[in-house]
């Protein structure tokens, strides 16, 4: 019964009958597995216990990101990276936008990056002088609807997840894994730094090969203000930050990282620091009259939190139906293989699983399976990192795979921008394939260096 409810839930999430929001279907699925005794109240309590740190951290990260957006921090960061000019070669803007997306995703998590960078890119493209743009006709008619705006929005979507591997706070899956395997903040960053660098580098190359046919040689912006000033036209961030505001933002980020590093030694949860930093930033923004509490609550996508918890409960029903036994058989089959083969096998399997059932439930199931193996802690952690890379990167194969992608699609819906499912999946498969393989290879090198 657990499998039937799971398949029905996933089908409804993809098809969205009656155009209901996706959190409705995950919640109904959770209610079904409980009412049919597939999961018990104790199981639901266990799911909450496991996911509480990441769920509360998600809320904290979203508030953190929205507060910094209102303070103008991301516009400042973009104007610092983007040149002070009225036009720019497209390849240069392409690379700079990926760098910006990577930085924001690393510090403010993939979900935060999607929330703040999507409107920023839209604001930038509102300033493009289309009278000077040469019309681009894609060679393949299927992609005729692709515009430079759609390309750069897709870039933000992909890099938000691809660059969310290096810090524990960069992704909720990272938080869950670090909690379950007791991985320190510094050790996590050291192991994932090389996979992250390899992944971003390859993403720039492959993404440019895929998308350059849809882009003009040069982007021309309206002559009233230079490009670096146009980023401040983001409708969600009309405030040009003062030096005091910027200093406060940088200090809060430093305090956050120091707090996370030291907090692990004293058993202080990550979300406590996130809520504390967010509260300070929100109070400061309120003092400057930059936010309204009612508006902020409307902008905070709490529905995504409800969706993820409901899906966790549904997937736990699959676990009770014996899915972990199946995963153990698959993982057991690679037990005697060389470490490189184990890393690639776990990463690829996890990427496929996360693209189907969402990376948050998949990371939980994979971690529970790895914990059941009788391996030394370093070997288990290496495979946990491979599993994590598969979940973070492979989740982009489908829109359902990542909460950041769901947030991205919600944003596009608000702005009436449409990307077909097939168009998305074609590019996702190409990008994920190369980025995942190279990142897993980087993890193997990290394992040799540090273990």
Exposure b/e, 166-189, CB count within 10 A at least 16 = b = bbbbbbbbbbbbbbbbebebeebb
Looking at residue 70, its pLDDT comes to 86
| pLDDT-flagged residues of the chain (< 70) | 80-86, 129-145, 222-239, 299, 301, 374-376
Q: What is the largest CA-CA distance in the chain?
A: 65
CA neighbor of 177 nearest in space, from 390, 22, 440, 320: 390
pTM score, two decimals? Answer: 0.85
CB-based contacts of 88, cutoff 8 Å, min separation 6: 82, 218, 219, 221, 227
Residue 213 lies in a domain: yes
Quote the CA–CA distance of 14 and 65 in Å, as a whole number.
Answer: 28
Looking at residue 294, its pLDDT comes to 76
Structural tokens at position 296: 């902020």
CB 222 within 8 A of CB 125: no
CA neighbor of 90 nearest in space, from 52, 62, 50, 132: 132
Looking at residue 206, its pLDDT comes to 95
Looking at residue 14, its pLDDT comes to 74
Distances (CA, A) of 42 to 47, 133, 166, 325: 9, 60, 34, 21
Looking at residue 447, its pLDDT comes to 93
Residue 347 lies in a domain: yes
252-264, pLDDT tens digit by residue?
A: 999 988 888 888 7
* Helix axes 403-414 and 148-162, enclosed angle (nearest 10): 160
Residue 315 lies in a domain: no
CB neighbours of residue 289 within 10 Å:
8
Looking at residue 16, its pLDDT comes to 79
Residue 21 lies in a domain: no
386-397, pLDDT tens digit by residue?
A: 999 999 999 999
User: What is the pLDDT of the chain when averaged over all its residues?
Assistant: 84
Residue 430 lies in a domain: yes
Containing domain of residue 428, as a range? 62-291+333-450
CB 50 within 8 A of CB 100: no
Q: What is the CA radius of gyration of the chain?
A: 22
7-41, pLDDT tens digit by residue?
A: 898 888 877 788 788 889 999 999 999 999 899 99
Exposure b/e, 65-89, CB count within 10 A at least 16 = b = bbbbbbbbbbbbbbbeebeeebbbe
Instruction: Give the total number of structural domains in the chain.
Output: 1
CB 450 within 8 A of CB 188: no
SS (H, E, C) 291-328: CCHHHHHHHCCHHHHHHHHHHHHHHHHHHHHHHHHHHH
Residue 228 three-state SS: helix
Residue 29 lies in a domain: no
Q: Within 13 A of 274's CA, how many CA atoms are on the CB side?
A: 26
Looking at residue 50, its pLDDT comes to 81
């Amino acid at each position: 019964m657990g499998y039937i409810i799971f398949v029905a839930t996933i089908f409804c999430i993809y098809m969205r009958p009656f155009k209901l929001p996706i959190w409705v279907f995950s919640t109904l699925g959770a209610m079904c597995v409980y009412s049919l005794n597939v999961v018990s109240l104790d199981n639901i309590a266990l799911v909450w216990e496991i996911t509480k740190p990441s769920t509360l951290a998600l809320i904290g990260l979203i508030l953190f990101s929205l507060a910094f957006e209102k303070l103008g921090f991301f516009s400042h960061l973009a104007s610092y990276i983007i040149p002070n000019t009225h036009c720019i070669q497209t390849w240069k803007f392409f690379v700079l936008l990926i760098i910006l997306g990577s930085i924001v995703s690393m510090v403010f998590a993939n979900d935060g990056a999607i929330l703040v960078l999507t409107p920023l890119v839209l604001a930038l493209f509102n300033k493009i002088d289309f009278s000077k743009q040469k019309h681009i006709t894609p060679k393949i008619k299927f992609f005729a609807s692709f515009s430079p705006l759609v390309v750069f929005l897709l870039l933000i979507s992909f890099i938000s997840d691809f660059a969310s591997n290096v810090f524990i706070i960069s992704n909720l899956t990272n938080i869950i894994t670090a909690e379950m395997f007791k991985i320190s903040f510094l050790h996590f960053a050291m192991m994932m730094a090389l996979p992250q660098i390899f992944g971003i580098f390859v993403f720039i190359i492959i993404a440019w090969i895929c998308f350059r046919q849809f882009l003009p040689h040069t982007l021309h912006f309206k002559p009233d203000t230079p490009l670096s000033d146009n980023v401040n036209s983001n409708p969600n961030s009309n405030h040009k930050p003062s030096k005091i505001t910027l200093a406060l933002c940088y200090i809060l980020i430093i305090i956050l990282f120091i707090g996370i590093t030291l907090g692990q030694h004293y058993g202080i949860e990550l979300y406590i620091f996130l809520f504390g930093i967010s509260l300070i930033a929100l109070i400061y923004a309120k003092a400057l009259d930059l936010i309204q509490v009612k508006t902020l609550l409307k902008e905070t996508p709490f529905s995504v939190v409800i969706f993820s918890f409901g899906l966790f409960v549904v997937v736990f029903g699959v676990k009770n139906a014996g899915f972990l036994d199946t995963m153990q058989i698959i993982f057991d089959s690679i037990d005697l293989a060389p470490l490189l083969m184990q890393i690639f096998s776990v990463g690829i399997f996890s990427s496929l699983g996360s693209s189907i059932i969402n990376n948050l439930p998949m990371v939980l199931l994979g971690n529970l399976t790895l914990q059941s193996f009788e391996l030394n802690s370093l070997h288990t952690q290496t495979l946990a990192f491979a599993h994590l890379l598969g979940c973070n990167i492979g989740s982009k194969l489908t829109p359902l795979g990542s909460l950041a992608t769901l947030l991205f699609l919600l944003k596009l819906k608000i702005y009436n921008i449409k990307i077909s499912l097939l168009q998305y999946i074609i590019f996702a498969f190409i990008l994920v394939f190369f980025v995942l393989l190279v990142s897993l290879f980087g993890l193997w090198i990290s394992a040799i260096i540090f273990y």
